[in-house]
Structure formats: structure tokens, C-alpha cells
């Protein structure tokens, strides 16, 4: 045993001189540090004569970690075993590459070697035998077991290699960068004995060259463990060596007490060997017991897995039964619905005469109201009464002529409900939606959109111009910038939306929803809010469309409950309210959830699926900037954080935890909108200077979406066309058309400066 950590003289003597480079094998575990390689680089002085082989013995694992559980390798599929092995070998290769780089920096030749074996010690012994390894550096124990007083090998692998390795292989045992023990080969041991005997004056000591390899190794080891034996005894006469299978007898020209002392030491060594053997047998028994316990645990785990599989099979069978029951229920509901339709048809036939009379009376009343309105406005166009709006009835021939008989090249959009075409009707560009005739719900959607859009009007709701009932077509104002979904995807190489425009779009959508939810006398829920149903006009003002599945709540119904039960939820899955999906109960809070998804999409530019989880994690980790849409420009950090939190709050699973749009969300959006509007205004002036043909956005009336002739400033600070804002106020509205907040007063002030600017612009462009 040699615990010295200094330079070893045999390192210099064995690797000095010319000739082929000697290979030094450095055995490392997967988790060891580079301390062993640094020790080798420091202790081998003649690096030009030595080449390092960075060695790792890979043992096939008995257990495989899967999802936090250690599964026996025998129970894991072959593909998983191969994947695990490939991953482990890659980690080992990366560690060896790091140490190869360290050797290259020190200008030392090195290579890496990975050996597979069922046992580390067996792998090392087999490598030493097959490659005739003469120099090996390996660990004496794990670094955590190292102490300054450490004098023995703690690792069972190291002990096995020490006892069974080829005698001609020198081994250095390292722990935490310190030499703990070194083992020399037979030639160096004999040379050390001869040198020691020469120094002690005993020139007659010799070793018979015919002595067997095992006997020589035994003698050399004995001599190494007593390096000063000759000097201590003071012998002057020669010694004789007798070798047999069990004992080594030494006779020295020395008193008998020394010989007795040697016998006592030999006896002590035998006792220690016996005790170690007993300890090893005890450890083997304990290991066997541990294996048995592990096997019992595996059996128990296998039983639990089988039980879980049975439970899952039962659950699957139960779910299938539930699905069948659901299908049966839906079929019964459909049949019931058909019966109701038949009954309603009978009722309609019996009440046909009453309806004719009633329609005549309604037409008479409507004519009287129109005449009174004309007299009241002194020849001006009649104001639209609350809850009623003029819809132009169009013929099939007009629709076909406007779309060139629905030419495919004019198609600008398509969905499961129908197709949208760009048309030219009565000297105006329009968007014409033709509902799918094969759809069983096309008639109800047609009626729903006509009913809703004929009752309400708002700057952020698409304007319905006319309809053709026979051809199931609806005519809307044309929106040249397409849907928000297309603009986020930069369809047709369109420019990305800036963060200022996105802020205004968020505010536009919020205003539209507040208006719908607070509509009088009946609240309206859109129920299909998504990016494809938000369309942008020429000034990128957002407007809601797709009212085919919206719902209107009557006052009587609102007094009894705030919920509307709908058996089959509609809408895109990424935007739909989870509680609506589970319960079928539709409320205005369902629109709030969809609004939250739209907000987060505008913020990040990402699709809806998985978006909530990504934003939630980014906000919690404080790395929201990493998922913001960089094409929108540099979002203000505080504004982006506020919008993300508002979006996540709107997307709460429970409805009761979602915020109110008017009292909570709008208070956050309003100051953002004002800031973004200032920047957009400056950008608008710039765009006008670059393109005189474009109409500045501040020349456009927010209600009529046309150039203003007589601009008036209302109490909300916005400027409107006189006819439009007066009609808005006279029809009974007490809120702003833009913010849906209550107007403090109904006074209107002329905007002379804007009127002069508009007239000058019109004269310039007319020339």
C-alpha cells in the first residue's frame, strides 16, 4: 500500500525514451469529473512518449427510469431499451469528448473507448487481458467517500481489478484527484527488491528465474509491503526462499524472534482474509435478499399495473356506453324537434288569416311612422327606429350579375357554412356570402343573421346591406383587409399588424362585445367569436361578423335565469368556452372566454391550441417577451404584461372568475387605446403624405364609414358625421357608439378645422 500523492518514479522510467508510444488507459465513470484526467496529465512527465485512452465500461441497466418510476429492464420493450441505451451512450460520449478537448489543449495524444459489459470489473479485466494493458488509472472509490486518511480501496470494482488483473499491469487508484494506492508489475517489483537489497548490503539475494509467475508476484508484493525489511533486520547472511501452494518461508541470518514475528504477521493476514471472506459472504447474502425484495416489489408492481389496466378497460367500456347513450339521446332530441316543427307548421296554417291581417296592420303602422319621421326631420332621411333597420331585398339575378354567376376567381373566403365572394352591386364593392344549400341549418343561419343585423348597428359590427332569401345570400359592406386570421398569417404577403393596430383591434372587439351584451331590450351573445369572424376595413377598423349562431335573450328569460341551454355547442374548439362545452349553458361570459383567446393571439401571433398554457408559463417565469410576436414591433413591456394577464383572466375555466368587459377590461384597455391612437394618428398623416390617393382615417365617420361632410364632436371626444350621430342619439341611445360608455351630455360641437381639411382634400383630389 502506498498512499503518497507525489510523482511516482516508475512513471518516468517506464514511459521515457524513444520507440512506440505507450498507451495509458484512464477508466472513468459516467458521473466522474475531470480530476482523474488532470492528475494523469500532471503526473506523466514525458507526454511525447505516452498516449491516453479515455475508457468507459458501459453496463446494461437492470432498471429503466420511465415517468419517474424505475421499471425492470426485462419488462420494458426492446425499442425503449435501445432508445435508453442510445441516450446513455450519447451522454458518455459527450463527457469523453470534453476530456479529449482537455488533452488536446495540453498537446497530449488521446482517444476514447467505450466497452460494453454486464459488470464494470469484468469489463476492465477482459480489456486488460485482450489488449495487454500495462498501465491503467482508475477510481479507488466514489469521490464522496474520500478522506485524507484514506489508505485502502473502498470500491469493490477496484478491489476485484487489484486481485485479478494481469500481474504485468500497473494500476494507479485515484480518488478526488489524489493518488490513494498504486500497484506495480512484476518486473518493476523485482527491480525494486534488487535495488533495496543492494542498498542494504545483501548481495547474495537472488530470485530463481525458473520461479513461477504467481510465486514471483507473491514475492514482489511481499517485498513492496515491507520496503525497509532488509534495513530493519540488519541481515548479513543470505536468505532462502521456499515456495509452495500455501506458505512462503523465509530464513534470514537473524535471531528466531524475527521469524516468529513474521509468522505472527502471516497468521494475522490469514485471519484478516478469513474475516473479509466472511464479510463478503454476508454481503452476498444481503445482496441476494435485496434482489429477492426487489423481485417481490416488481411482482407487486406488475399486479398493480394489471389492476390499473383492468380499471382502464372498465372505464373505456363505461365511456363507450355513455357515448352510445348520448347518441341515443341526440336522436331522440332530433325526433322531438321534428315533431315540434310539424306542430308549429299546423299552428301556422290555422293562424294564416290572422297573420295576414296582422302584417297589414304592421305595414300600415310602419308607413305612418315613416311619414311622421319625414315631417319631423324636415325632408332629411328617416331615422332608424330602435330595434329596426332597413334591409334591401335583392333578386337572384342581381346577385348573379354582381358575382359573375359566382365566379370562382371572385371567391375571397370559405367555411363549412358557405362561401364569400367579392361583388360589384349598384356601383359599390360588396361582400356576398352564399350559404351552403346542403347544410340543414342554412335557413336558420340566414334568418338569424338578418334578424340580428337588422336590429343593431355599431361601428364595430359588420353592416348588412341586403339579402336574397331565394338564393340564401347575404350582402355586406366590403372589407378590403380581410379577416384577422389572414392578417396574423400575413396572407398574400400582407404587412404584419403593428402593436398599435393590434391594441386598437383588441379595443374594437371589446367595444363590440360590450355593445352586444348590453343591447336593449334584449342582450345578444355572439357565441362564435374567433379571428376568422373579425374582419378589417380599409383603415384596419375591426368589425365582428358571423352572426349565424348568435343568441338573443329576452327580458322575460333574463329575469328567470342568465343561462341559455344549447344541446350542441357551436364554434371553433380553440375559442369555445370549456364550461359551455361541458354544460351546454351559454352566457355572455362565453364570449369573454373567446375574447381572451383572440387577445392572446394578437399578443403572440400564435395559433389558439396550447396558447393558454404557453402564456401562463411565460408570465409565471417572467419571460413573456420571449413569446411576443416580434413582427408587431417592440411591445411596451408593461402594456404587454397587462394584456397577457387580462387575456388569461378572461380564459379562466370557471365563468365566475372571468372579468366583466365594461367595468374591468375596458378600464385597462382605454388608456392603452389613447396611447396607441396618438401613434396611429401620426402614422396616418405620414401615409397620406406618401399617397395622396388614400383617404385619411380621421376623415371617415366611425358610424357610416364614409367621408364626413358635416363633422360634429360628441361628448365622448370622437368626431362623427352630423346625420349619423344625431340619428344615434335620437333613436334613444345614451352611450357612445365607440366606447359604449354613457355620454355625459348630448351637445354636439362643429369641428370646423376638420371640415376645412376635408373640403381642401376633396378639392385637391378632384383636380
**What whole-number distance in Å separates Cα of residue 117 and Cα of residue 35?**
25
Q: Is the dihedral of CA 214, 215, 216, 218 positive or negative?
A: positive
Q: Hey, which residues does 433 pair with through a beta bridge?
A: 420, 474
* End-to-end Cα distance, the chain: 108
Q: What own/partner pairs with CB < 8 Å and gap ≥ 24 does 656-659 have?
A: 658/589, 658/592, 658/593, 658/596, 659/592
SS3 content of the chain, % helix, strand, coil (to 5): 50, 15, 30
Q: Are the C-beta atoms of residues 717 and 737 closer than 8 Å to each other?
A: no
**What whole-number distance in Å separates Cα of residue 548 and Cα of residue 566?**
15
- Burial of residue 474 (CB within 10 Å: 0-12, 13-18, 19+) is buried
Q: 485 catalytic, yes or no?
A: no
**What whole-number distance in Å separates Cα of residue 568 and Cα of residue 580?**
10
**What whole-number distance in Å separates Cα of residue 671 and Cα of residue 237?**
108
User: Running DSSP on this structure, what letter comes out for residue 483?
Assistant: B
- Burial of residue 589 (CB within 10 Å: 0-12, 13-18, 19+) is buried
Catalytic residue among 196, 202, 471, 528: 528
**Which helix or strand (DSSP H or E) is residue 69 part of?**
strand 69-72
**What whole-number distance in Å separates Cα of residue 407 and Cα of residue 412?**
11
Q: Are the C-beta atoms of residues 752 and 709 closer than 8 Å to each other?
A: no
Q: Name the phi and psi angles at 394, rounded to 5.
A: -110, 150
Task: Kindly provide the b/e burial profile for residues 76-95, where b requires at least 16 CB atoms within 10 angstroms of the residue's own CB.
Answer: beeeeeeebeeeeeeebeeb
User: Running DSSP on this structure, what letter comes out for residue 733?
Assistant: -
HEC secondary structure over 254-285 = CCHHHHHHHHHHHHHHHHHHHHHHHHHHHHHH
**What whole-number distance in Å separates Cα of residue 217 and Cα of residue 167?**
7
**Which helix or strand (DSSP H or E) is residue 750 part of?**
strand 749-750
**What whole-number distance in Å separates Cα of residue 464 and Cα of residue 453?**
6
Q: Which three cell numbers stand for residue 46?
A: 514525458
Cell 322575460, residue?
A: 556
* Strands 170-175, 135-139: pairing kind: parallel
Q: Which residues are catalytic?
A: 528
Amino acid at each position: 500500500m502506498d498512499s503518497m500523492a507525489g510523482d511516482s518514479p516508475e512513471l518516468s522510467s517506464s514511459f521515457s525514451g524513444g520507440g512506440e508510444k505507450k498507451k495509458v488507459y484512464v477508466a472513468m465513470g459516467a458521473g466522474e469529473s475531470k480530476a482523474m484526467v488532470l492528475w494523469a496529465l500532471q503526473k506523466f512527465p514525458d507526454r511525447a512518449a505516452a498516449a491516453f485512452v479515455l475508457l468507459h465500461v458501459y453496463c446494461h441497466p437492470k432498471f429503466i427510469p420511465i415517468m419517474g418510476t424505475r421499471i425492470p429492464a426485462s419488462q420494458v420493450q426492446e425499442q425503449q431499451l435501445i432508445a435508453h441505451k442510445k441516450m446513455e451512450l450519447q451522454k458518455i460520449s459527450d463527457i469523453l469528448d470534453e476530456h479529449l478537448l482537455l488533452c488536446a489543449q495540453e498537446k497530449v495524444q488521446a482517444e476514447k473507448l467505450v466497452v460494453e459489459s454486464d459488470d464494470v470489473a469484468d469489463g476492465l479485466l477482459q480489456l486488460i487481458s485482450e489488449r495487454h494493458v500495462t498501465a491503467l488509472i482508475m477510481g479507488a472509490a466514489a469521490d464522496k467517500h474520500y478522506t485524507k486518511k484514506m489508505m485502502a480501496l473502498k470500491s469493490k470494482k477496484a478491489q476485484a481489478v487489484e486481485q485479478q488483473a494481469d500481474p504485468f499491469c500497473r494500476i494507479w487508484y485515484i480518488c478526488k484527484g489524489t493518488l490513494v494506492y498504486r500497484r506495480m508489475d512484476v518486473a518493476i517489483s523485482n527491480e525494486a527488491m534488487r535495488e533495496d537489497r543492494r542498498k542494504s548490503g545483501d548481495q547474495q539475494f537472488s530470485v530463481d528465474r525458473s520461479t513461477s509467475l504467481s510465486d514471483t508476484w507473491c514475492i514482489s508484493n511481499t517485498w513492496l509491503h515491507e520496503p525497509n525489511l532488509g534495513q530493519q533486520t540488519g541481515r548479513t547472511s543470505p536468505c532462502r526462499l521456499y515456495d509452495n501452494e500455501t506458505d512462503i518461508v523465509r530464513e534470514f541470518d537473524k535471531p528466531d524472534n524475527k521469524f516468529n514475528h513474521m509468522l505472527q504477521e502471516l497468521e494475522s493476514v490469514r485471519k484478516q482474509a478469513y474475516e473479509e471472506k466472511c464479510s463478503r459472504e454476508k454481503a452476498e447474502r444481503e445482496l441476494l435478499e435485496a434482489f429477492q425484495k426487489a423481485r417481490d416489489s416488481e411482482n407487486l408492481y406488475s399486479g398493480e399495473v394489471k389492476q390499473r389496466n383492468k380499471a382502464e378497460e372498465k372505464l373505456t367500456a363505461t365511456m363507450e356506453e355513455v357515448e352510445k347513450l348520448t347518441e341515443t339521446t341526440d336522436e331522440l332530441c332530433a325526433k322531438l324537434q321534428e315533431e315540434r316543427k310539424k306542430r308549429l307548421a299546423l299552428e301556422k296554417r290555422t293562424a294564416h288569416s290572422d297573420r295576414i291581417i296582422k302584417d297589414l296592420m304592421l305595414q300600415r303602422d310602419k308607413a305612418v311612422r315613416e311619414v311622421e319621421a319625414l315631417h319631423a326631420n324636415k325632408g332629411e332621411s328617416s331615422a332608424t327606429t330602435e330595434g329596426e333597420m332597413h334591409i334591401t331585398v335583392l333578386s337572384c339575378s342581381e346577385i348573379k350579375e354582381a358575382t359573375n354567376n359566382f365566379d370562382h376567381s371572385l371567391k375571397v373566403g370559405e367555411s363549412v357554412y358557405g362561401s364569400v365572394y367579392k361583388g360589384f352591386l349598384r356601383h359599390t364593392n360588396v361582400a356576398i356570402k352564399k350559404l351552403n344549400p346542403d347544410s340543414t341549418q342554412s335557413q336558420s343561419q340566414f334568418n338569424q343573421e338578418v334578424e340580428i343585423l337588422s336590429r343593431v348597428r355599431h361601428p364595430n359590427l359588420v353592416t348588412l346591406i341586403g339579402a336574397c332569401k331565394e338564393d340564401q345570400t347575404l350582402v355586406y359592406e366590403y372589407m378590403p383587409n380581410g379577416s384577422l386570421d389572414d392578417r396574423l398569417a400575413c396572407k398574400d404577403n400582407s404587412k404584419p399588424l403593428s402593436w398599435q393596430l393590434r391594441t386598437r383591434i383588441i379595443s374594437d372587439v371589446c367595444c363590440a362585445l360590450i355593445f352586444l351584451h348590453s343591447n336593449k331590450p334584449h342582450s345578444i351573445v355572439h357565441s362564435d367569436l374567433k379571428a376568422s369572424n373579425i374582419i378589417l376595413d380599409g383603415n384596419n377598423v375591426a368589425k365582428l361578423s358571423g352572426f349565424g349562431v348568435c343568441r338573443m335573450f329576452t327580458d322575460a328569460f333574463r329575469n328567470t335565469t342568465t343561462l341559455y341551454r344549447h344541446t350542441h355547442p357551436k364554434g371553433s374548439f380553440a375559442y369555445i368556452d370549456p364550461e359551455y362545452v361541458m354544460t351546454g349553458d351559454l352566457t355572455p361570459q362565453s364570449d369573454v372566454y373567446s375574447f381572451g383567446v383572440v387577445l392572446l393571439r394578437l399578443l403572440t401571433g400564435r395559433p389558439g391550441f396550447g396558447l393558454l398554457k404557453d402564456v401562463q408559463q411565460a408570465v409565471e417565469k417572467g419571460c413573456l417577451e420571449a413569446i411576443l410576436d416580434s413582427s408587431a414591433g417592440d411591445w411596451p413591456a408593461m402594456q404587454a404584461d397587462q394584456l397577457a394577464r387580462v387575456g388569461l383572466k378572461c380564459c379562466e375555466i370557471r365563468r365566475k372568475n372571468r372579468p366583466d368587459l365594461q367595468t374591468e377590461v375596458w378600464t385597462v384597455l382605454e388608456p392603452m387605446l389613447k396611447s396607441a391612437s396618438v401613434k396611429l394618428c401620426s402614422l396616418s398623416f405620414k401615409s397620406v403624405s406618401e399617397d395622396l390617393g388614400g383617404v385619411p382615417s380621421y376623415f371617415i365617420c366611425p358610424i357610416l364609414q364614409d367621408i364626413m361632410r358635416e363633422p360634429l364632436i360628441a361628448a365622448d371626444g370622437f368626431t362623427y358625421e352630423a346625420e349619423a350621430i344625431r340619428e344615434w342619439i335620437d333613436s334613444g341611445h345614451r352611450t357612445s357608439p365607440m366606447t359604449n360608455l354613457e355620454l355625459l351630455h348630448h351637445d354636439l360641437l362643429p369641428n370646423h378645422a376638420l371640415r376645412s381639411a376635408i373640403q381642401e382634400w376633396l378639392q385637391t383630389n378632384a383636380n
